[in-house]
Amino acid sequence: MQNLEVWGALVWHYPWLMPKIVLVEGDITRQSVDAIVNAANSSLMGGGGVDGAIHRAGGRSILTECENLRASRYPDGLPTGQAVATTGGDLEARWVIHTVGPTYAKSEDRSHLLASCHVESLRVADELGAETMAFPAISTGVYRYPVEEAADIAITTVAETRTTVREVRFVLHTAGAYAVFERALRTRSGPGR
């Protein structure tokens, strides 16, 4: 297990702070944080990848809350770039924040939607009062976003979003993804930053 921590600087409006950004190679379902983010699809009914892993580990109560959200706030599904919370069910995390990343397209820049997933997930975490949260590498699996681009967007967005979350952990499932995120974080926190 590799770890890299870089303390962010204070930004100007107290109590809005930059979160500490932590990289972890591992399984997001096993993280001891207040909230974990799910790379869901707009149906909120589960799927493969990290979505499948979270529903399997968290149990039926997550799906039940997702079904209720579809029946109430999101009859047409959760739009891409937005985020909504449910219970964490049987997970150590108290909440799961579901967000829908963009599918990658060479012909169209969808980076604003991937950035929005991070901004909106942080906003939901703030509303919940979550102090620690974990993100997977949203859109880099089934949705085919190149990890290099996704890592830059994810780290830059989290570092530049005002939040009361103290620690944001990126949980990367492979050593390759971890190395890419580590490069992106080092670039961001390098000289002159």
The arrangement of strands across the sheet holding 167-172 comes to: 3-6, 20-25, 167-172, 132-135, 35-40, 95-100, 83-87
Decide: is 53 part of the binding site for ligand AR6 (CB under 6 A): yes
Applying CB under 6 A, which of residues 8, 49, 59, 77 lies at the interface with ligand AR6? 49
User: Which is closer to ligand AR6, CB of 29 or CB of 132?
Assistant: 29
Concatenate the DSSP letters of all residues of 70-102 into one string.
Answer: HHTT-TT-PPTT-EEEEE-TTSSSSEEEEEEPP
Helix (H), strand (E) counts: the chain: 5, 7
Catalytic: 51? Answer: yes
- Selecting among 27, 34, 51, 90, the annotated active-site residue is 51
- Site residues for ligand AR6, 54-83, by CB under 6 A, read none
Decide: is 39 part of the binding site for ligand AR6 (CB under 6 A): yes
Decide: is 41 part of the binding site for ligand AR6 (CB under 6 A): yes
Distance from C-alpha of 112 to C-alpha of 94, rounded to nearest angstrom: 28
Applying CB under 6 A, which of residues 55, 173, 178, 181 lies at the interface with ligand AR6? 173
Q: CB of 59 within 8 A of CB of 88?
A: no
Q: CB of 125 within 8 A of CB of 116?
A: no
Taking the complex as a whole, the smallest distance from the CB of residue 57 to ligand AR6 amounts, in Å, to 8
**Site for ligand AR6, rule CB under 6 A:** 27-29, 39-41, 47-51, 53, 101, 136-143, 171, 173-174, 177
Residues annotated as catalytic are: 51
